[in-house]
Structure 1
Amino acid sequence: MLMDDDTVGAFLPYPAVPVASAAEGPLAGLRLGVKDLFDVKGYRTGCGSPFILAQSEVKERTAPAIQALLDAGAVFTGKTQTDEIAWSLYGMNPHFGTPVNSAAPDRIPGGSSSGSAAAVAAGLVDIGIGSDTGGSVRAPASFCGLWGLRPTQDRISLDGCMTLAASFDTLGFFARDGETLEKTGAVLLGDDTCPLPAAPRLMRADDMFARMAGEAGAVLETVCEGLEAAGVEVYADLPANQVYDAFRILQSREILAEFGPWIDKVRPVLSAPVEQRFAYARSLTAAQEEAAAKVRARFRAGIDALLGTDGVLIAPPVHDAPFRLDAGADILDSFRHQAITLLAVAGLAGLPQVTVPAGRTTGGPIGISLIGPRGSDASLVALARRMWPR
C-alpha cells in the first residue's frame, strides 16, 4: 500500500507500487482507495481470500472504471479490505481482520466493502471504491456515517472486477460529503438515461420505515420532517418475506455457479459463515431458482410502475445502527435478515440507491436513502444533495 499510516486496518499490506494518475482533472488530488476485488496494475487481487490471493498473478492492467478515476486525477492510495469473496454484510474477515469504524469504534464497519468505507470514514482517502451485490456499499455507508451510491445495474463497467453474482453486482462508491460523491459519479456514470425532473414525485416507503428499530426510526423521522412525500407500500403486491427469499435464492445460486467449481477443485478453508452460505446454496434446486426469478420479474415490474420516470422513494437503507463487534451469533443472523429485507428492494429491482448520513443513535450512525428509476443515478445524487445539503 502507499499509505504511510493505516490507522484503522483498512488497507491490504501489498508492496507499494506507484500507480500513475493525471495531474489535472475533476478529481485532481483526491485520494482513492480501491476494494480488493478490482484489478490495479502492479498489484494482486485477493478478493478477501488467502487462497485466491495465493493464486493471483500481479495484474498487468487496471480495471477500466478505476482507470477512469485515475485519468480524472484521483490519486491511488492502496487496495482496501473486503469480506471473504465479498459474501458478507458485516466487514468481519477472519483471514485479514476487521477494519475499524471510526464513527463507532466498538461497532462493525459493515461489508463487504469494509476497507473502503473505513478508509473514507477515517479521512485516509476521499473516495472509496466498493462493490454492492446485496448491500455492500449501502450498509457500510449507513454504519460509518458516509455518503454512498449503489448505481443502476450494469451502469458502470465491472470489467476487471471479481464476479460474485452477476445479475446483482455493481460498482459503488463512498465519500464523506455529497459534493465529492457527485464529482465521482460525474466521472463514472456519464449522462443519465432517465434524468429526474427538477421537482420529482417524492414517495415515502411506509412499510420499509415500519421495519426500523425504535431509536434509529426516530432519527429518520427527524431528518424527514417537512418533506412532502406521499406514503406508499413497497411490499403491497409481494410480501417482504417473498422479496427476501427471492433475493437470497437467486444470489446464492449465482454465487454457487461462480465459485462452486473452484471450491470443489481447490478445497479452500472457508470461514464458518461463508461455508454455511455455500451449504445453503447447494441445498437449493433449479425449480426454486425459477420460482424466485418469477418473483423478481414481478417485483421489478411493480417498482418500475411505482416510480415511473419521475418518482423517488425515500427509504431506510438498513433497519438499525451497526451492532457491537462482540455480538453473538443470534444477533448476526437476525440482523442480516432484517437488513437484507430492506436492501433487497433496490437490489432485486436493479435500481440506483443513494445513502446519506441521517444522524446517530446511541449505537452509532444511521443513514437515509433515495431510490430512483433506473438510469437516474446522477440526478438522484444531485437531489439528495438538495434535500440534505452537507
Structure 2
Amino acid sequence: MLISHDPFRCFMPYEPIPVTNADSGPLSGLTLAVKDIYDVAGYRTGSGCPLRLAQSPVASVTAPAVHRLLDAGARFVGKTHTDELAWSMYGMNAHFGTPVNPAAPDRIPGGSSSGSAVAVAGGLADIAIGSDTGGSVRAPASFCGIWGLRPTHGRVSLEAVQPLAPSYDSAGFFARDGQTLGRVAQALIGPDTVSLPQTPILLRPMDMASQLAPESRVIYEAVFGPFTAREVTVFPGGVEAAYHTFLTTMGWDAKAAIIPWIRASAMPLVHGIDGRVASAEQISAADFATANTARAAYATHMQTLLGTTGVLLAPTVPTAPFRLDAPVEVFDSYRHDAMRLLCVAGLAGLPQVTFPAGWIDGAPYGLSLIGPRGSDVSLIALAEKLSKEVPS
C-alpha cells in the first residue's frame, strides 16, 4: 500500500509499488483504492485466497477498469481486502482478517468488497472500485454508511479481473458522497444510454418493502414516504421463485468460472464457501435451462415495469449490519435474506445506487434506487436529489 497508516486494516500489505496516473482529469485530486481481484501492474492479485496469491504472477498490465480511473486522474493508494474469491458478503476473511467497519467497529463491514468500502468510509481513499455479483458493493455501502453503485451489467470491462459468475459480475464502486460517485460514473462508464427525465416515475416495490425488519421499515417510510410513488410488484411469481432463479443461474456460472480452479487447487474450503460449492456442483444442465428461461422472463418483466422513465424506491438489505460475534445461524440466514432483495438488480442487469439513509442501534443503514438499464449517471443524480429533499 502507498499510505503510511491503515488503522482499519483494509489494505493488503503489498510492497508499495507506485502506479502512474494522469496529471489531470475529471478525477484529479482523488485517491483510489482497488479491490484485490483486479490486476494492477506491479502487484500480484490474491483474491482473498492464499493459494490464489501464491499462484499469481506479478501483473504486467492493469485491468482496463482501473486504468480508466487512473487515466481520469485518480491516484492509486493500494489494493484492498476481499472475502475469499469474492464469494461472500460479510467482509470476513479467515486467512487475511476482517477490515474494521469505521462507522460501527463491532459490526461486520460487509463484503466481498469489504476493504474498498472500509477504505472510503474511513477516509483512507476518496473512491474505490470493487465488484458486485450478488450484492458485494451494495451491501457494504449500506453497512459502512457510504455511497455505492452496481452499474448496468456489462457497461464496465471486467478484463483482467477474477471472475466469480460472469453473467452477474459487475465492476461497482464507492464514494462518501453522491457528487463524487457521479464523477466516478461519468469517468468509468461514460454517458447514459438511457437518461432519466427530470421528473421520473417513482415506483414503490411493496413486495420488497414487506421483507424489511420493523426498524428498517421506519427508515424506508421516513425517506421515501414523502414522495408520490405508484405501488408495484417486482416479484410476479413470488420472491422465492425469483431467488431460486438467481441462485441456480449464479451457481451455474460459478460452476464453470471458478469451481474448476477450486477443485484443481485442492484449496481448503471455509464455512460458507463449502456449501456454495457443493450446491453449485449439484446444478444440472436441465436445472440451469429452466432457471435461465425464468431469468429472461424476469428481465423482461422489469424492463416493462421500468420502461425508460421508471425508478424503484428500493431497500438495499433487510436491516443494519449485525455484530461480528453473532451466532453462525445469523450469518447463514442474513445472506439469504439480503439476497432476496439484492437479486432484483442482478437478475435484470439493472443499475442500483445505494446511499446512507439512517441508523439502527448505532449502525448505518442504506436505501437505494434501481433504474432502467443504461441510466447509471442520471440515477446517481436522482438519488442525490431525493436524499437532499427528505425532510429532516
TM surpasses 0.5: yes
3-state SS of 2:290 partner: helix
* Distance in 2 separating the partners of 1:358 and 1:69: 28
- In the TM superposition, residue 259 of structure 1 has moved relative to its aligned partner by 2.0
| Amino acid across the alignment from 2:295 | R
User: Which whole-Å CA distance do the structure 2 matches of 1:122 and 1:54 have between them?
Assistant: 29
2:205 alignment counterpart: 205
Whether contact under 8 Å (1:353, 1:370) holds in the other structure is yes
Identical positions, percent: 54
Aligned to 1:275: 274
Alignment of 1:148-163 (within 5 A): 148-163=148-163
Write the distance in 1 (CA, Å) between the matches of 2:155 and 2:286.
30
Q: Deviations over 1:347-382 (max 9, x none)?
A: 111000000110101051111100000011111111
Q: Tell me which amino acid in the other structure corresponds to 2:119.
A: A
Pair 1:84-2:84 in alignment:
yes
Q: Which residue of 2 aligns with 1:325?
A: 324
Show the counterpart of 1:302: 301
Distance in structure 2 (CA, Å) of the matches to 1:262 and 1:65: 24
1:198 positional shift? 1.1
Q: Supply the AA of the counterpart residue of 1:223.
A: V
What amino acid is the match of 1:61? V
Distance in 1, Cα, partners of 2:274 & 2:311:
38
Query: For residue 363 of structure 2, what is the amino acid of its counterpart?
Result: G
Indicate the residue corresponding to 2:245 in structure 1: 246
Residue pair 1:360, 1:366 contacting (<8 A) in 2 also: yes
Say whether the 8 Å CA contact 1:321–1:363 is kept in structure 2. Answer: no
Change in 2 beyond 3 A, CA 1:330/1:363: farther
Matches of 2:312 and 2:13, distance apart in 1: 40
Distance 1:282 1:66 in 2: 32
Aligned match of 1:347: 346
1:176–1:371 distance in 2 versus 1, CA, 3 Å: same
Q: Which amino acid aligns with 1:250?
A: T
Q: Deviations over 1:218-238 (max 9, x none)?
A: 112111131111111111x21
Give the corresponding residue for 1:57: 57
Partner of 1:272, secondary structure, is coil
Distance in 1 (CA, whole Å) between partners of 2:262 and 2:59 is 23
Once the 2 structures are TM-superposed, how far is the Cα of residue 80 of structure 1 from its aligned partner? 0.3
Greater Cα offset, 291-300 or 11-20: 291-300
Q: Structure 1 CA distance, aligned partners of 2:153 and 2:271?
A: 30
Instruction: Name the TM-score, length of structure 1 as normaliser.
Output: 0.98
CA contact (8 A) 2:110 2:139 kept: yes
Supply the distance in 1 between the matched residues of 2:262 and 2:374 (Cα, whole angstroms). Answer: 36
Secondary structure, aligned partner of 2:247? helix
Q: Distance in 1 between matches of 2:294 and 2:328?
A: 30
Q: Does 1:14 align with 2:9?
A: no
Shift of 1:386: 1.0
1:65-114 deviation line (CA, Å, top 9, x unaligned): 11111111111000000000000011111011110101111000000000
Give the RMSD, CA atoms, in angstroms: 1.0
Distance 1:265 1:223 in 2: 49
CA contact (8 A) 2:163 2:258 kept: no
Q: How does 1:1-390 map to 2 (within 5 A)?
A: 1-235=1-235, 237-389=236-388
Q: CA deviation at 1:272?
A: 2.1
CA apart distance, 1:156: 0.7
Give deviations 1:117-145, integer Å, cap 9, x for gaps.
Answer: 01111010000110000000000001111
C-alpha contact 1:35 1:130 (8 A) present in aligned 2: yes
Q: Structure 1: which 5+ runs fail to align?
A: none
How far 1:116 moved relative to its partner? Answer: 0.3
Calculate the TM-score normalised by the size of structure 2.
Answer: 0.98
How far apart, in 2, do the equivalents of 1:387 and 1:295 lie?
Answer: 33
Instruction: Work out the CA distance in 1 between the residues paired with 2:109 and 2:10.
Output: 10
Counterpart amino acid of residue 331 in structure 2: L
SS at match of 2:125: coil
Secondary structure of the structure 1 residue equivalent to 2:272: helix
Structure 1 counterpart SS, 2:359: strand
